[in-house]
Structure 1
Amino acid sequence: MTEPPEIVETTSPATALEVLVLTGMSGAGRSTAANALEDMDWYVVDNLPPQMIAPLVELVARADGALPKVAVVADVRARSMFSELEQVLVDYVDQGIGIRVLFLDASDEVLVRRFESVRRPHPLQGDGTLIDGIEAERRELAPLRNRADITIDTSDLNVHQLRAEVRAAFGQDGAAALKLTVMSFGFKYGIPKDADHVVDVRFLPNPYWIPHLRGLNGQDAPVSDYVLSQPGALSFVDRYLALLDIIVEGYLSENRSFATIAIGCTGGKHRSVAISEQLARRLADRTEASVSVRHRDLGRE
């Protein structure tokens, strides 16, 4: 068996490597949990053979903190190698390398319903029944369940509630649960396909028609001052922020991880840019979300 590596000196306390093994019963929500971890910037590797965990951790440790959080999804699809996973974990603990196990479980009745709803056989079912496969998997996973650091029973959880449980267990203290992107764009180039909300600021006078502002953009003070001084500009921002307060609160309660607010004008260079910058600054001061701003069409001719 491959020996677990020593954590190299390039891993500083500020970027200490976290390793998580995500496992559990088939149908208990591993994919949902893995997606939640990815949304929290974990580097997730699905169905990695146990023998490959040590080389993976060694490579990540040598990345000097570029990937400080690694989650390995392990299940019985690789049954011939899965039995070695517990020994790999023991070896890591013996060497003082921190590695945690998250085990997802659910009642037999719930697992049966979930498999029947997707009309797929259990991976260990073989020529037997669905219950035979579930019982075989429970026996296979019993040692891992007993040594798990965190066990989540998903029997009564929907996907949103499971994501919330994972976020509560593995999210960083103080980290924003929702990442908001405020994006300026030009309607002449099309509405952003990934926009959750689209607003039109073409009701404001266009700086393009003012000669000394035409060559500038909404990030330049003369253009920004001009746009925000127009009648209705700040009133629009105030009222739209009040609406976004309600929307962001709803996104947080529904465990949304990402949302894009698209602000459009004709070419995406003046009005939409100035309003997006103003909106992003004020959103960052009044929401629990992490707010970034992007100007999609600023570089276009």
Structure 2
Amino acid sequence: MREQEHPQPAEPARDPLRDTVPVEIPAIDDAAPPVPPAERPEMIIVTGMSGAGRSRAADALEDLDWYVVDNLPPQLLPALAGMMTTVGAGVHRLAAVVDVRSREFFAHFMEYLRQVRGAGTEVRLIFLDASDAALVRRFESSRRPHPLQGTASVLEGIEHERTLLAGLKGMADIVIDTSRYSVHELARRVRELVARESDLALRVHVMSFGFKYGLPLDADHVVDVRFIPNPFWVSELRHLTGRDAAVADYVFAQDGAAPFVDGYADLLAPALPHYVDELKPHVTIAVGCTGGKHRSVASAERIGSRLRQAGFEVVVQHRDLGRE
């Protein structure tokens, strides 16, 4: 007798858009956490009066890892914005210096700016200004003519430029009067306005070296640890380096070695954050012994570790290790 066949349950209706992949995939996608949207590309446009500090502002932005383009014709702004990206190693923070030297292109600046913003790029317009007296003094001290001076006086060139830029100044997101600023004060002001917290973090570079190979040219601080007995003269340690625990233990077991190295790191720690205040975000500490293999290496590692514990971002490098 033939067995009775049991009817199979009907398959659910399939959505042709959703079901072009195996059935399990949409469920996995639904369960996956949403991916946060990428940040919008950022553009800063620096403009304003000639002599008000556009070049110094551009330098400050470049120091903050912005990609800077100087004297850009405004008609190229949309194309340049279109090249930016929010992923990978591409340009995602771009600063463009635009000024009256662009001549006929400048008249259409606001149209190009609208195109950039309409494409989804976050744009901030920084306008740099200064008093007539300050601008005249700067042009006289540099002995350079005003870009719009021609055969007229510097002051007439300044007045002509003010007329051209009057409407643009009113539309700026940020106006900075640099009349009483030094170049360093202007850089600090730009950093205050645009820098993220990560941009302002101090980066400490601790480097070991051997005095017999010469002092590092880029050292801000030099520490001499040649007063510590040299592990080179201990046969069991000679072939090792300051990275090896046996060498480090020997070095810091010597009288005064550990207090000196720890005390040096502790002495520097309160002063290091103020380097950023003085527009110096990188500090190099060079630690030297005779050959750069034992004492300096162990000491650099210990200083780096102690400064990390104090909250600093530290990179340790051994310049002459392996050179002997």
| TM-score, normalization by structure 2 | 0.80
Equivalent residue for 2:315, pick from 284, 289, 292? 292
Equivalent residue number for residue 260 of structure 1: 284
Matches within 5 A, 1:62-77: 64-77=88-101
Whole-Å separation in 1 of the counterparts to 2:144 and 2:230: 57
Query: Could you tell me which amino acid in structure 1 is paired with residue 53 of structure 2?
Result: G
Greater Cα radius of gyration, structure 1 or 2: 2
Distance in 2 separating the partners of 1:217 and 1:59:
48
Residue aligning to 1:134: 158
Structure 2 counterpart SS, 1:195: coil
**Structure 1 residue 169 corresponds to structure 2 residue 209:** no
Q: Which amino acid aligns with 1:216?
A: L
How far did residue 160 of structure 1 move?
Answer: 2.5
Kept in 1: contact 2:242–2:248 (CA 8 A) = yes
User: Number of residues paired by the alignment?
Assistant: 289
Counterpart-to-counterpart distance in 1, 2:170 and 2:108: 16
Q: Does 1:53 align with 2:89?
A: no
In 2, distance between residues paired with 1:226 and 1:67? 49
Deviations 1:9-36 (A, max 9, x none): xxx7455421111222222122222222
Q: Are 2:77 and 2:113, in contact at CA under 8 Å, matched by a contact in 1?
A: no
CA separation in 2, counterparts of 1:211 and 1:84?
A: 77
Q: Which residue of 2 aligns with 1:6?
A: none
Equivalent in the alignment of 1:108: 132
Match of 2:206 among 167, 182, 185: 182
- Which consecutive residues of structure 1, in runs of 5 or more, have no partner in the other structure? 1-11
Q: State the superposition RMSD in angstroms.
A: 2.4
Match of 1:224 in 2: 248
**Residue number among 55, 63, 67 corresponding to 1:43 in the alignment:** 67
For residues 223 and 83 of structure 1, the distance between their equivalents in structure 2, rounded to whole angstroms, comes to 70
- Which residue of structure 2 aligns with residue 97 of structure 1? 121
Provide Cα deviations, 1:221-244, integer angstroms capped at 9, x if missing partner: 333333233222221123322431
How big is the shift at 1:128?
A: 0.9
Distance 1:45 1:216 in 2: 50
The verdict on how the C-alpha distance between 1:54 and 1:208 changes in structure 2, with shifts beyond 3 A counting, is farther
Per the normalisation by structure 1, the TM-score is 0.86
Contact map agreement 1:16 1:65 (CA 8 A) in 2: no
Give the conservation status (yes or no) of the 8 Å contact 1:39–1:257. Answer: no
> What displacement does 1:63 show?
6.2
The answer for unaligned runs of 5 or more in structure 2 is 1-35
Distance (whole Å) between structure 2 residues aligned to residue 290 and residue 25 of structure 1: 39
AA aligned to 1:42 is W
Distance 2:253 2:125 in 1: 56
Cα drift, residue 76 of structure 1: 2.4
Per-residue CA distance 1:70-129 (angstroms, 9 max, x = gap): 111222233233333322111122333211111111111111111212221112211111
- Does the 8 A contact of 2:71 with 2:101 survive in 1? yes
Distance 2:180 2:306 in 1: 39
- Of 251, 269, 275, which aligns to 2:275? 251
CA distance in 2, matches of 1:40, 1:62: 17
Q: State how far apart, in whole Å, the 2-side matches of 1:44 and 1:71 are.
A: 5
